[in-house]
């Protein structure tokens, strides 16, 4: 594959609805889903400086972790192919009889898939486990699950650099919270940053984001994480969520997915109905891409 053309800065789409008008709110979407069809959304932003660092270290192989529908595995495999790295994916769970569409793409782009059971997978950040991987696969540049490290945060902070208009609230959907941490770092303090956790029992997430922020040795305020819209937990869904995603596409022409962006936008609209946002606010929500994962769901 040739070096990809990336749509950066990513465009911004305004959403119109009577509900927004009634509260004099303006809602905009930062379309990171349009950055690239294969290296999508925040996964590109998280990979960018990691790819540069790997080149600098003269590493020829990237190794990373994820599940069968992982957007990060998908993006890393595509990026490796484009930018000339071998890639190894350590995949959570036993090897299935047929690969998910995500893993099939990754394999087609040259990623070597290595399945580990859930118990082993839990050790993925431990030094012994990683030493074992180095014994098995030789030298590699390690990217953590979800692409989440300090270089990834740095890439995500650039979302803010791309903004040319002021906003009162920035909304970010959160898995590991790395994208949120990056946005907080790049943020100017008068803007409120609101994360939406897609995990159940997300109370661990604020301290996790705080410890990422602590690494920058600066202080940040004016950010929170909302834990009310996880819909039962990671990748769990409800009929109401699918209905919302379908209606959103019909009314606004923007495709969401049920793991991240669907939950956040559902949450944003619910909070609007509850009068959470100050009248007159300009809200910017980040669409982090991940639409390849839709193939794991039957949307009709
Ligand atoms: C991975 C992903 C996220 C979560 O990003 P974190 O930095 O792990 O919080 C959010 N949205 C989409 C679409 C993603 O693919």
Q: Does any domain span residue 6?
A: no
**CATH assignment at residue 93:** 3.40.50.1100
Match 């009162």 to its residue by tokens: 168
Is the same domain home to 171 and 291?
Answer: yes
Give the helix/strand (H/E) hosting 193: strand 192-197
Instruction: Express each pLDDT in 101-143 by its tens digit.
Output: 999 999 999 999 999 999 999 999 999 999 999 999 999 999 9
Q: Which of 261, 52, 239 is nearest to 172 (CA)?
A: 261
Q: State in Å: Cα 146 to ligand 1 middle.
A: 7
For β-strands 169-174 and 61-66, DSSP reports them as unpaired
Contact 55, 151 (CB under 8 A): no
Q: How many domains does the chain have?
A: 2
Query: Does the model's pTM come out above 0.95?
Result: yes
Q: Between 178-186 and 205-214, two packed helices, what is the crossing angle to 10 degrees?
A: 50
- Ligand 1: residue of 39, 290, 295 to mutate (most ligand atoms within 8 A of CB) is 290
Q: Does any domain span residue 3?
A: no
Q: Does any domain span residue 26?
A: yes
Is the same domain home to 29 and 170?
Answer: yes
Q: State in Å: Cα 135 to ligand 1 middle.
A: 31
Q: Is the CB of 177 under 6 A from ligand 1?
A: yes
What is d(CA 4, CA 24) in angstroms, rounded to the nearest whole number? Answer: 40
Among left, alpha and beta (phi > 0; psi -120 to 50; other), residue 176 is alpha
Q: Does any domain span residue 2?
A: no
Is the same domain home to 50 and 143?
Answer: yes
Is the same domain home to 229 and 190?
Answer: yes
Instruction: Express each pLDDT in 87-100 by its tens digit.
Output: 999 999 999 999 99
The DSSP 8-state label assigned to residue 279 in this structure reads T
What is d(CA 40, CA 109) in angstroms, rounded to the nearest whole number? Answer: 15
Instruction: Express each pLDDT in 200-240 by its tens digit.
Output: 988 899 999 999 999 999 999 999 999 999 999 999 999 99
Residue whose CA is closest, atom 15 of ligand 1?
290
Q: Does any domain span residue 28?
A: yes
Q: Quick check: helix, strand or coil at residue 86?
A: strand
Structural domain boundaries enclosing 228: 12-40+149-296
């Amino acid at each position: 594959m040739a070096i990809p053309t990336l749509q950066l800065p990513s465009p911004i789409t305004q959403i119109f609805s009577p509900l927004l008008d009634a509260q004099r709110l303006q809602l905009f979407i930062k379309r990171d889903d349009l950055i690239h069809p294969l290296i999508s959304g925040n996964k590109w932003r998280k990979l960018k400086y990691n790819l540069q660092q790997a080149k600098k270290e003269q590493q020829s192989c990237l190794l990373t972790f994820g599940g069968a529908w992982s957007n990060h595995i998908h993006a890393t495999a595509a990026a490796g192919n484009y930018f000339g790295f071998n890639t190894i994916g350590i995949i959570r769970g036993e090897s299935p009889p047929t690969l998910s569409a995500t893993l099939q793409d990754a394999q087609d782009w040259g990623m070597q898939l290595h399945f580990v059971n859930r118990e082993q997978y839990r050790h993925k950040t431990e030094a012994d486990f990683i030493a074992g991987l180095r014994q098995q696969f030789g030298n590699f540049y390690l990217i953590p699950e979800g692409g989440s490290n300090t270089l990834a945060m740095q890439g995500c902070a650039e979302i803010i650099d791309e903004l040319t208009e002021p906003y009162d609230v920035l909304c970010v959907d959160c898995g590991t919270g790395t994208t949120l941490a990056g946005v907080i770092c790049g943020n100017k303090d008068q803007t409120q940053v609101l994360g939406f956790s897609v995990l159940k029992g997300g109370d661990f997430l604020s301290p996790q984001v705080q410890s990422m922020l602590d690494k920058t040795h600066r202080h940040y305020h004016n950010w929170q994480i909302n834990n009310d819209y996880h819909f039962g937990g990671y990748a769990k869904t409800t009929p109401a969520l699918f209905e919302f995603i379908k209606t959103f596409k019909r009314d606004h022409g923007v495709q969401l997915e049920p793991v991240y962006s669907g939950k956040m936008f559902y949450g944003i609209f619910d909070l609007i109905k509850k009068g959470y946002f100050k009248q007159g606010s300009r809200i910017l929500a980040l669409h982090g891409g991940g639409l390849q994962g839709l193939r794991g769901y039957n949307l009709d």
